Structure 1
Amino acid sequence: MLIALYYAVGLWGYVFTPDPYGIPLVWPATGVGLAFTYLYGYRMLPALGIATGLILWQFTEDAMPLVEATGVVLATMAGVGLGAWALRRFGFSPGFERLRDVLLLLVVGALAASGLAATAGAWAMAVSIEELGFSDTWWLCWVADLIGFLLVTPALIAWLAAGRRHLDSGLPMIVLLAASLIGVSALVYSGVLETGLAMPLSYAVFPLVMLAALRCPIQITTSLILIVGAIALSGTGWGLGPFADAGLEQSLLSLNAQLALLVLTGLLLAALRNERESAEARGRQHLDDLARAGRLSTLGELSASLAHELNQPLCAVTSYASASRRLLDRERLDDLRDALTQLDSNAHRAAETIRQVRATAMSETPRQVAMAPRDLITPVLELLDPELKRRRVRIDVDVARSLPHIRVAPVQIEQVLVNLLRNAMEAVETRLDGTIRVAARNLGTALEITVTDNGPGIPEERLATLFDPFATWKSGGIGLGLPISRSLVEAHGGQLTATNLDDGGARFRFTLPLEVPDARSQTPAGLSGRR
């Protein structure tokens, strides 16, 4: 495959040979060799040597003696081998995930692969043909190698390394960008337009490539750049387009400068986007770790309440077990059946409490499920019920049975509710009439859940930084509960906000997308109560 592809792009390169000495102004073959050698190892070098020899034999047999041709083959193999070694040695990523990957590829291509190949080619041509000087010939060979390398190598590496991964989404965008780029390039280099119009229009591909770099996988971005380059070079080589008026040599050199800028623009933007996405992923992982730490901290703070919750059903289990033994001795089977039923019920109650604690402490990514809002809110209220009673805080619940389902990771949203409710309890604990209100309503496309208290409210100077990490004004607080809560809500596609009420108190409001958006907004009714 390497020999066939190398030979094919070599034939295409010789389309752009303006002089009788066989020096092409675009030479992508070296880039093909480097891509295969980097990905598949040094066993590709013999095939590369054979392909280079075939090209030289067909196009320079009369002009270049055997010794010089052998030197070109060996230098090309050495340059490609050195380039592949450098990419591996310095940790090049074929997905162009970092800015340094683009810079490393550029340096390797300019110095190792293209540099050695251009040096050998210029030396062989200068020795074989008296009319050619080494320096001028080297410059032409190096530019030809480098521009071919920049166009072909990124696309080959991206496709051969990643294949069709990450191409499942965004197909309409890819098709639209491809059609736009091909259409603009074909129009510019068809010879239909006057030079005065075609030249500025040739730069219209830049914003399209920039959009591709920011929105599409790297395979698509590099492929689109390669397509634009192939159309531009082919049209100019045939004397068409805005760069064709100055003669083939000068035209291609000018076009090569534009294409080099296009390649660098696309690759650098793609790398910067990948770096940003990696940083965001690390940030999300960090927040997940903080969320787990917050859950464990919350469990520690609620240990007394949890002990109380477990103590009741376990004491009941012990009592009913003793009663069952006595009833069995007396052969009172009907009463025994009732006692065993109560024992089973209390055992399940204790098991459910343990399940909630275990789910809260889990570090694995929770699975999202569709559930009714009431089924999401009720377990949290039951978990916090002992603490609410201990603090003598009244809680009003206004949740409609008819509310549509939402798709959530229950553990994460339960953590949000726990954080908001505990903050509300702390805000109202000094009031004799401390009250918290939990309500939910359908907004049509999202479910809104509010937690409102009648405490002193949030200091106005704190509202702007309320969700910043470590921003707390409470004694003993570390300021992570609200940032973690906002992160969890946003991970579900919702928003978490806080406001003060005119008559005192604070309201925290967060939204969660409905499983199936409903155009009708429902008023909460049906399930409301006071705890």
Structure 2
Amino acid sequence: MTISLGGTQRSSENLFHRALKLVAVWLAVGLAYHIAARIGSGVSIGPMAISLFWPSSGVAMAAVALLGRTAMPPLFLAATWFYLGTDVALLYAVIAGAGATAAAATGAWLLHRLAGETTLDRSADPAILLFIAAVASGGISGLTGAAAMAAEHGAIMFTEMWWVCWVAHFTGIAFIAPLILVWGRRRDPLPRFTAETGLIVAGSLALAGIGYTNFIGGALMETLSYAVFPGLILAAIRMDTRITTALLTITAGIAITCTAWGHGPFAGHDPMYDLLSLHIHLTILVMTILVIMAATEERLRADRQSAETLAALAQAGRISALGEMAAGLAHELNQPLAALKSYAQAAARMTDSGDARGAREAVTRIAAMADRAAAILQGIRGYIGGRGDQAEDIAPAISVREVIRLLENDPVRRAVTIDVDIEEDLPFVHAAPVQLQQVLVNVIRNACEATGPGGTVRLHAETGDGNLTISVDDDGPGLPDRPDLFTPFASEKPNGLGLGLAISKRIAEAHGGTLTGGTGPLGGARMTLKLPARAIRRAAA
């Protein structure tokens, strides 16, 4: 009998790797908590050494939110170890450590229950984090920490110490937890560092240095502390959330450190007054910046979803348009295919008769017809598949020619004369090629349908006021007098879906332009597409 040890060995290796990973996580969490607690104990004011800031509470709650129950044992051990180092009896250190762990678990549970796996990208998330999770977690930590200290030092009033501890824990959660949650959950790469980013960061830090120190003394000090708001608001609107939360935490660190050292607008008064003034200021700051940051992320996400919806509708519109042009496209493809067959038969006969020159000429024509069929299919595939949905600089004349070529075999267009008055050297427009073609296809086909057999459609382009304007005129009966011209699913055509103009208008607006309708010089309708023009001018090839 043969016994395989491979499976057992692999199982042992996996167990060892899991144990090693667990130890590494425990060490990282415990070390982070201990360092944060040391920082918190180093920023204190008054004869009672009242801590202004307890960042370890933010570390603890964020660790449980990210790692779950795995983070709780090292948090308990690290918190107990820290309190033992402050000359607190073992029993009271254990109580404080258990309280810190329970507080972190409670805050993380509330945050997950109400906001999910948040990266603070929804408008409600900052309020949930600060006024539910942080209030509850800070309250538990403050309660157990003050109880342990009051039991050890009878002279300390429990009631006074509880709210002081709660404020410090709340501030630690408010500024540290967002930083860790955003950096811990976002996996996309950081955006490229730009000059704008550098200016915002440098300006915000400079304003923090001025506002939270004695750089300008007197009555203006407290007023100048609010000078940090514009820079951080700009960061929340313009910068990545990871950079914004880091900048917010650094700013709070500057304010707290300066106050602990006796500098700035929140120092030099009664310790309790200084403590309360500082934390009111910081609470307003963190709530303002986090709400603006979350609202900005929510808007950007809505913009992305809107763009995806527009792309899906645009593709549906292209498929619908190609369905209407199917007969003409089939006819166009049938011509090169029939020619291929004829030339192939001729080449076979010439080869049998020994006419090598004639056979070579037939084969050359076969290749030409194959290229023609491939070009037709390539144009259809590119149009229907949405290739070219990335914006680029486009020559208007080239785009119009491609659209006219695409419509050459449309039965609706064949009976209509299309006059094109578009100069070759017009400024470029920055647009997605396929989407621009889709708008032109929709308005040109509508014009051809409106004017009917023997009618005329005229295309004209001009520039002015920094815009490129393309007008499509027809000599048909004109536009219907109704307000829902660009409303989806509103159509007077018997078999129309009513999506063409609605999609075209949204595409124009997505490119910073407009699509409007009116009466043209030919007596019929005029559709006007206006797009921002680029400074680039180049001869259209």
Any conservation in 2 of the 1:109–1:115 contact (CA below 8 Å)? no
CA distance 1:86–1:344, change in 2 (3 Å): same
CA deviation after TM superposition for structure 1 residue 325, in Å: 3.2
Task: Please give the residue correspondences for 1:390-469 in structure 2 after superposition, counting only pairs within 5 Å.
Answer: 392-401=415-424, 409-429=432-452, 432=454, 434-440=455-461, 449-459=470-480, 462=483, 466-469=485-488
CA deviation after TM superposition for structure 1 residue 300, in Å: 1.3
Higher mean displacement: 192-201 or 298-307: 192-201
Q: Which residue is equivalent to 2:21?
A: none
Q: Which residue is equivalent to 1:268?
A: 291
Higher mean displacement: 212-221 or 186-195: 186-195
Q: Which residue is equivalent to 2:155?
A: 131
Q: Which residue is equivalent to 1:361?
A: 384
Instruction: Give the alignment's Cα RMSD to 1 decimal.
Output: 3.3
Residue aligned with 2:358, SS: helix
Matched, 1:150 2:174: yes
Any conservation in 2 of the 1:98–1:272 contact (CA below 8 Å)? yes
Residue aligned with 2:457, SS: strand
Any conservation in 2 of the 1:420–1:508 contact (CA below 8 Å)? no
Give me the whole-angstrom Cα distance separating, in 2, the residues matched to 1:109 and 1:395.
66
Q: Which residue is equivalent to 1:253?
A: 276
Matched, 1:338 2:358: no
Any conservation in 2 of the 1:421–1:451 contact (CA below 8 Å)? yes
Q: Which residue is equivalent to 1:166?
A: 190
CA deviation after TM superposition for structure 1 residue 296, in Å: 1.3
CA distance 1:20–1:46, change in 2 (3 Å): farther
The letter for the 2-side match of 1:49 is F
CA deviation after TM superposition for structure 1 residue 217, in Å: 1.1
CA deviation after TM superposition for structure 1 residue 407, in Å: 6.7
The letter for the 2-side match of 1:484 is I
Select 1:45's aligned residue among 58, 61, 72: 72
The letter for the 1-side match of 2:144 is A
Q: Which residue is equivalent to 2:11?
A: none
Q: Which residue is equivalent to 1:114?
A: 138
Any conservation in 1 of the 2:52–2:260 contact (CA below 8 Å)? no
Residue aligned with 1:239, SS: coil
Any conservation in 1 of the 2:328–2:411 contact (CA below 8 Å)? no
Matched, 1:509 2:522: no
CA distance 1:286–1:270, change in 2 (3 Å): same
Any conservation in 2 of the 1:79–1:117 contact (CA below 8 Å)? yes
Q: Which residue is equivalent to 1:78?
A: 102
Q: Which residue is equivalent to 1:95?
A: 119
CA deviation after TM superposition for structure 1 residue 66, in Å: 1.7
Any conservation in 2 of the 1:239–1:248 contact (CA below 8 Å)? no
* TM-score under structure 2 length normalisation: 0.84
Higher mean displacement: 137-146 or 333-342: 333-342
Any conservation in 2 of the 1:442–1:521 contact (CA below 8 Å)? no
CA deviation after TM superposition for structure 1 residue 235, in Å: 2.0
CA distance 1:309–1:163, change in 2 (3 Å): closer
Give the number of equivalent residue pairs.
513
CA deviation after TM superposition for structure 1 residue 370, in Å: 6.8
The letter for the 2-side match of 1:132 is I
The letter for the 1-side match of 2:472 is V
Residue identity (%): 36
Higher mean displacement: 44-53 or 140-149: 44-53
* TM-score under structure 1 length normalisation: 0.85
Any conservation in 2 of the 1:92–1:104 contact (CA below 8 Å)? no
Matched, 1:478 2:505: no
Matched, 1:321 2:347: no
Any conservation in 2 of the 1:498–1:509 contact (CA below 8 Å)? no
Task: Please give the residue correspondences for 1:375-386 in structure 2 after superposition, counting only pairs within 5 Å.
Answer: 375-386=398-409
Q: Which residue is equivalent to 2:507?
A: 488
Give me the whole-angstrom Cα distance separating, in 2, the residues matched to 1:300 and 1:176.
53
Give me the whole-angstrom Cα distance separating, in 1, the residues matched to 2:95 and 2:159.
18
CA deviation after TM superposition for structure 1 residue 442, in Å: 7.2
Give me the whole-angstrom Cα distance separating, in 1, the residues matched to 2:246 and 2:219.
28
Stretches of structure 2 that go unaligned for 5 or more consecutive residues are 1-27
Q: Which residue is equivalent to 2:16?
A: none
Give me the whole-angstrom Cα distance separating, in 1, the residues matched to 2:343 and 2:92.
99
Any conservation in 2 of the 1:290–1:484 contact (CA below 8 Å)? yes
Any conservation in 2 of the 1:195–1:242 contact (CA below 8 Å)? no
Give me the whole-angstrom Cα distance separating, in 1, the residues matched to 2:393 and 2:256.
55
Stretches of structure 1 that go unaligned for 5 or more consecutive residues are none
Q: Deviations over 1:476-499 (max 9, x none)?
A: 433321232244345556554445
The letter for the 2-side match of 1:437 is R
Give me the whole-angstrom Cα distance separating, in 2, the residues matched to 1:359 and 1:253.
64
The letter for the 2-side match of 1:53 is T
Give me the whole-angstrom Cα distance separating, in 2, the residues matched to 1:17 and 1:186.
20
CA deviation after TM superposition for structure 1 residue 369, in Å: 6.8
CA distance 1:407–1:201, change in 2 (3 Å): closer
The letter for the 2-side match of 1:52 is A
Any conservation in 1 of the 2:55–2:173 contact (CA below 8 Å)? yes
